[in-house]
Amino acid sequence: MILGCGNITLQPGRMRGNNQRRQRKRTHQALTRLFQILLSESAYLIWVLRCERVIQEKTITNKEIKARWYCAINDRLTIDKVTMTKIIRTKEFMKLVEGTWEPILRKGMELPVNWLQCHEVLVGRTA
């Protein structure tokens, strides 16, 4: 599953109208993308931590693991924000980035109006 996570797609539920179909497709595309990002970043971090523990004989605390995971996810968010504002400036990509990150960011805090253009850290920030 981890090696093929780029091919994973979350299936949308039943769809009725044409407008609903487009909205759900966009939502599930964003959720699939978020799932792929979380899975791949987590797997990579597990591999790195294992290498540090086995090869370097380093002791890693739960607090450090959590901090490094937040850092990895925040780096991915930052990459998406930079890509959206400087490289791919299309409305479709902006909606995809918003749909990917907004649901998870809104759970724990109130987002600024233009959070995609903000240069502050969002993941792991307490409200």
44-48, 91-95, 104-108: least confidently modelled range: 104-108
Q: What pLDDT, in 10s, does the model give residues 82-98?
A: 898 888 888 898 889 98
The Cα 76–Cα 82 span in angstroms is 10
Quote the Cα angle for 68-119-108, to 5°.
60
CB 44 within 8 A of CB 75: no
The Cα 111–Cα 107 span in angstroms is 10
Residue 89, CA distances (Å) to 16, 28, 92, 95 in order: 31, 21, 9, 11
pTM of the shown model: 0.77
Residue 65, CA distances (Å) to 17, 71, 76, 78, 112 in order: 45, 10, 17, 20, 28
- The answer to whether residue 109 scores a pLDDT higher than 60 is yes
Q: How many residues does the structure list for the chain?
A: 127
- The answer to whether residue 33 scores a pLDDT higher than 70 is yes
